[in-house]
Structure 1
Amino acid sequence: MSLRDRDYIISSNGLIFRVLGYSHPPDGYLCDLEYVPSNLYSSNNPRAPRGRSKISHYKLYGDEPFKLINKRFPEYRVYYRPLNAYLPGVPKNRIGEVRLPKDALIRLIDSSKDELLTALEKVLNMILCSSKLNLEDFGVFGSLLLGFYHPNFSDLDFVIYGLKNLKELRDCLAALYKGGFIFNEFEHPSEDLSFKWKFKNYPYKLYIAHQKRKLIYGVYKPLNARPVKVEFEPVKDYGEIANEYSSLRSIVRLGWLKAYATILGDDEAAFMPSVYDVEVEDVVEGFRVDGIKRIVSYVEEYRLQAFKGERVYVEGWLERVESLKELFYQITLTYGPKYYEQTLYSLDLSHSLGF
């Protein structure tokens, strides 16, 4: 079986990885290290502990997984030939167990209900009754999938499969947000996290505006119960997946680039990595080359960030890509050096807000 984005791998020593994207070498999977057992690692981040009666795992955030793999678990890397580099991931001979979002959702629906699972069922029923979507179009990820969620504190983390289904879901949520019980999380954010904001070239208020229009982040507010955050992360249907790995000869990083561009295509913008077809209008800083074809982002904050026809500002790594068919350039936002200096935002939205 071929794994895809947001499927989970539990390694032979208990590390929990989330599969990252769809382009993988034949002997392993590129992954994000998402949870580490408490007997192997501890974190000072108050958001990190997971477990019910006691802490069983710690969740990693931002560029923590990249740093921890390189420092503590270098055996969990796979060789990515086009980059001529070892990247965080799980070799197939180190896979202990695989868990899939669709299977986990069915298991939760069939289990006895606590406060969180009652909310899960009600949110899904609202969507299924207000759209053309079916139960098999969804899955769950994170602590819900892994079984160490807390019924009184955890969020509802869903997967939505397929581009067509994502459009249907976003239209459905836009309508539901007007009707009560479920609201856009970023319409009136419950807490101001600007003091914790780390991205240097992406203002926090602009981040809030971008998140609001994505529509996939909500809050369910049932009567006489706590509000529950709800998110829907898009994942490709199997029929939409094309593994680029075998067709790529090389990817060479050339240097840092700052540029203005127009989005020509956004069909891949919702997925991981988020891919935007672009026409670069002006290079502010860095190499000036012809043939910059796309922006590729592995940074969660820049998923669904801009839409076809919009102008954007981007800071990231210029890369030269040689495939079996063509030679082109891309701007990549990813883990590693200058992580929090990377940015991608809509100039149309920015100007409308007075930035």
Structure 2
Amino acid sequence: MRQTGFPFLPKDFIETEDGLIFAVVSYHSHDQKVGCFLRYVQDQHGWHKVDTEQANRLLERHHPEFLFYSSQFDAAFHAVPVNSIIHHHRPEQRLQQLLKQPADDPLQHKLHKLIAILQQYSVDITALGLTGSMLVNQQKATSDIDLVIYGRDTFHQCRSAIKKAIADNLLQKLDKTQMQENYQRRDSELDFDTFSWHEYRKCNKAMIDGSKFDIGMVCLKEELDIEHRHFLKQGIKTIQCRVTDDSRAFDFPARYRVDNALTPEIISFTHTYVGQVEKGEFIEVCGALECDASGTCRIVVGSTREARGEYIKVIEQK
């Protein structure tokens, strides 16, 4: 699953000796640096989670060497040299570690129960990992359980298992309070009812005994597209179009093919719009228009994690 020369995958965490933990967001090396975003900062009181704005401000002031501009993607993010990493937190190792030992807290009890439920529906748990706060043992009673699923087939099998387990009352749909919290955290441009409608049908998040969990996919090596084109941003654009291919809807980034000749591809770098639309649906998209040297263009939704002013929504179902 992991390449020996560059063993880093999205949803891994990497830690530096400066007391910084970054979430990996890229499959590939960027000049022997790992593409990532700062998520946790350590001080005398312990670890603290930071949002995008706080992370950028902190790095600008104290660690500008971790700020990175990609000419290929015409985007700024964070990048840590491989030789600056003191600990590589791997989701699949963390999950197996926790499953082999007695649960230390209520959230770990729920994790054990959740994995057992997924096994009931024939999910291959060797293809699963654990990311988020539990990956670095920073969970609270109110934390989510963030599962990583390696490979498309297992991911969709897991989505199906969640749907069946909800129907069998082993898991629960997000209640309105949880959905409101999800909505506020995502800071979506959609209104609450529209946001909720899209979220419920994805079957990539649910509740177990009052705690929210979600699943995120990481592609296997053979499932990846190698991107060699260089894109330049051309401003914000809004289009309406029909989805012609949703096979990569849950990838990172999510990719949708559409019937717009100028912008045949929609890409989302924010989890809010992963799995958002399905093949055959008529949709509206607002995002950053990008073009390569040949004039081929695409729309990118999620130029920041919060994707302010950008969205993807269904106008007409198939």
What TM-score do you get using the length of structure 1 for normalisation?
Answer: 0.80
CA pair 261-142 structure 1, distance change in 2 beyond 3 A:
same
Specify the code of the residue in structure 1 equivalent to 2:281. Answer: E
- Alignment of 1:211 with 2:199, yes or no, is yes
Contact 2:187 2:306 in 1 (8 A): no
Moved more, 233-242 or 302-311: 233-242
Aligned residue among 303, 306, 318 for 1:335:
303
C-alpha distance in structure 2 between counterparts of 1:307 and 1:68, whole Å:
39
Q: 2-side partners of 1:204 and 1:111: how far apart?
A: 40
Unaligned runs of 5+ in 1: 40-54, 222-226, 281-289
Within the candidate set 264, 274, 291, 2:244 is matched to 264
Alpha carbons 1:22, 1:242 under 8 Å: kept? no
Equivalent residue letter for 1:277: R
Q: Which amino acid aligns with 1:13?
A: D
Deviation at 1:24, TM superposition (A): 4.0
Identity of aligned residues (%): 21
Alpha carbons of structure 1 residues 38 and 300: separation in structure 2 relative to 1, 3 Å: farther
In angstroms, what is the RMSD of aligned CA positions? 2.6
**Is 1:147 matched with 2:137?**
yes
**Kept in 1: contact 2:188–2:307 (CA 8 A):** no
State whether residues 242 and 283 of structure 2, in contact with CA within 8 Å, keep that contact through their aligned partners in structure 1: yes
Check if 1:98 corresponds to 2:88.
Answer: yes
Per-residue deviation at 1:155?
A: 2.5
- Aligned positions of 1:315-334 closer than 5 A: 315-322=286-293, 327-334=295-302
Shift of 1:334: 2.6
Q: For 1:119, which of 110, 113, 117 is the aligned residue?
A: 110
1:259-287 superposed Cα distances (whole Å, 9 cap, x missing partner): 1111111122112211111122xxxxxxx
| Cα gap change, 1:232 to 1:31, in 2 (>3 Å) | same
Alignment partner of 1:175 out of 164, 168, 189:
164
* Whole-angstrom distance in 2 between the partners of 1:295 and 1:179: 35
Paired positions, count? 312
- 1:298 equivalent in alignment to 2:266: no
Q: What is the SS of the residue equivalent to 2:246?
A: strand
Aligned position for 1:285: none
1:243 shift after superposition? 3.7
Q: Name the CA distance, whole Å, in 2 between partners of 1:30 and 1:329.
A: 24
Which of 301, 310, 323 aligns to 2:281? It is: 310
Please state how far the C-alpha of 1:193 moved relative to its aligned partner.
Answer: 4.5
Which runs of structure 2 are paired with 1:179-198 in the superposition (5 Å)? Answer: 179-185=168-174, 188-190=176-178, 192-193=180-181, 196=184
**CA displacement, residues 85-140 of structure 1 (integer Å, 9 cap, x when unaligned):** 65322122322221110000011112222322222111111111122x22211100
CA contact 2:238–2:287 (8 Å) conserved in 1: yes
Tell me the equivalent position of 2:220: 237
Equivalent residue of 1:144, what SS? Answer: helix
**Deviation at 1:68?**
4.2
Q: Residue type of the partner of 1:74?
A: P
- Relative to 1, partners in 2 of residues 1:169 and 1:141: Cα closer, same or farther, differing over 3 Å? same
Structure 2: state its 5+ residue gaps: none
SS in 2 for 1:180: coil
